Amino acid sequence: MAVYRAPRGNFNLFLNGLDGIIRTLYKVDLKLIICGDINIDYLTDSDKKRQLAAVLLTYNLSAIVQFPTSHSITAINNIFIDTYKFINYTVFPPYIGLSDHDAQLLIIYNVNLQLQNHHFHIIRNINKYSIEEFKTTKL
């Protein structure tokens, strides 16, 4: 999931919205990765950082980017994962030079993706119109 928080936006609205979205999506076996420009510097301590970390921790999500992500030497972009579900990973800053923000590359090793069984149901609407259509259809 990708998120953006405006630097001057309502922080509580962002926090409550993020919590609501995760709560809607969350299942115990979900392997959720949240990334984006959250405009909270994870290289310094702050109330906003503690509040966001507390909300994300309720879903076992932790920040994994601990290096500067912008030219202002802050870590305002981050990636949040469940480090119990994603045990073997690497995150690093590849230099791309296209923006005032640097990229973060997350590589997850030994991912066991389970294919989901999809069941399809065809429901036919049977009424006088569909019956007439059936009668007049040429094979």
Q: Which two tokens stand for residue 110?
A: 């030994």
Which residues constitute the domain of residue 13? 2-110
Is residue 74, in this structure, part of any structural domain at all? yes
Per DSSP bridges, beta strands 89-92 and 105-108 are antiparallel
Written as one letter, the residue type at 51 is Q
- Indicate whether this model's pTM tops 0.85: no
- Residue 107 three-state SS: strand
Is residue 123, in this structure, part of any structural domain at all? no
Q: Which residue do the tokens 């990229």 mark?
A: 103
Is residue 79, in this structure, part of any structural domain at all? yes
Q: Kindly report, residue by residue over 105-123, the tens digit of the pLDDT.
A: 899 998 766 666 666 667 7
Is residue 75, in this structure, part of any structural domain at all? yes
Is residue 85, in this structure, part of any structural domain at all? yes
Confidence of residue 80 (pLDDT cuts 50, 70, 90): very high
Q: Across the strands, what pairs with 80?
A: 34, 63
Q: What's the CATH number where 98 sits?
A: 3.60.10.10
Domain count, the chain: 1
pLDDT at 114: 65
Is residue 122, in this structure, part of any structural domain at all? no
Closest CA to 103 of 69, 71, 134: 69
Is residue 126, in this structure, part of any structural domain at all? no
